[in-house]
């Protein structure tokens, strides 16, 4: 999980870890929201991990139950509304959130190991005309999509189930 899928110096959309914490909190302040301890802590964790995190994971990563679980839920709701995080669903009934890099639309997908739950960011996307075609054919507008890939990662292929 520590190795970056795209090598050193990558600047792909999910690389929000590059945004310094002060820039993130400033964004809060600018929109008339208070910069509190819990919010800073949550942002710092999202920034450092740079991958989709479940609310439970974020809460457990906080030092000594520093903040209430409900507060993390409320923080994520706020950040989602501000467009600072994106929500992903991997089909296990748990919402996951990932920090978005500043100025990037952040649209990307994931490849998830069904054995160990390792997550790799996938920048590739479906052909644009495919979405347009589907929208037109059915009379829909404002069409978006959710796409996630599932498989077995290299470490888990030997029958050995890796950690994480």
Partner DNA sequence: TTCAGTGCAAAACGTTTGCAACACA
Partner DNA sequence: TGTGTTGCAAACGTTTTGCACTGAA
Find which of DNA, its own copies, none residue 119 binds, CB within 5 to 8 Å per kind: none
Find which of DNA, its own copies, none residue 115 binds, CB within 5 to 8 Å per kind: none
Cβ at position 89, least distance to DNA in Å: 8
Token pair, residue 81, equals: 């509304």
Which of 141, 158, 159, 163: binder of its own copies (CB under 8 A)?
141
Q: Distance between CA atoms of 57 and 126, rounded to whole angstroms?
A: 30
Could you tell me which stretch among 5-13, 26-34, 119-127, 143-151 binds DNA (CB under 7 A)?
26-34
Which of 142, 158, 160, 163: binder of its own copies (CB under 8 A)?
142
* Whether 59 contacts 72, CB under 8 Å: yes
152 lies in the site for its own copies, by CB under 8 A: yes
Beta carbon nearer to DNA, 9 or 63:
63
Cβ contacts of 108 within 8 Å, gap of 6 or more: 12, 13, 14, 121, 122, 123, 125
* Whether 119 contacts 52, CB under 8 Å: yes
149 lies in the site for its own copies, by CB under 8 A: yes
The SS3 call for residue 86 is strand
Q: Distance between CA atoms of 110 and 52, rounded to whole angstroms?
A: 9
Which of 43, 45, 71, 153: binder of DNA (CB under 7 A)?
71
Beta carbon nearer to its own copies, 72 or 120:
120
């Amino acid at each position: 999980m520590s190795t970056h899928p795209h090598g050193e110096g990558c600047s792909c959309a999910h690389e929000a870890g590059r945004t310094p914490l002060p820039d993130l909190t400033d964004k809060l302040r600018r929109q008339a929201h208070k910069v509190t301890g819990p919010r800073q802590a949550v942002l710092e964790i999202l920034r450092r991990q740079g991958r989709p995190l479940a609310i439970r994971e974020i809460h457990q990563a906080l030092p000594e139950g520093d903040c209430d679980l409900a507060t993390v839920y409320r923080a994520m709701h706020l950040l989602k509304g501000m467009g600072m995080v994106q929500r992903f669903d991997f089909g296990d009934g748990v919402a996951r959130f990932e920090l978005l890099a500043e100025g990037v639309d952040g649209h990307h997908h994931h490849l998830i190991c069904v054995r160990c739950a390792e997550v790799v960011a996938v920048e590739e996307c479906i052909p644009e005309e495919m979405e347009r075609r589907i929208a037109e054919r059915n009379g829909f507008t404002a069409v978006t999509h959710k796409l996630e890939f599932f498989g077995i990662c290299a470490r888990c292929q030997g029958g050995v189930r890796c950690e994480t």
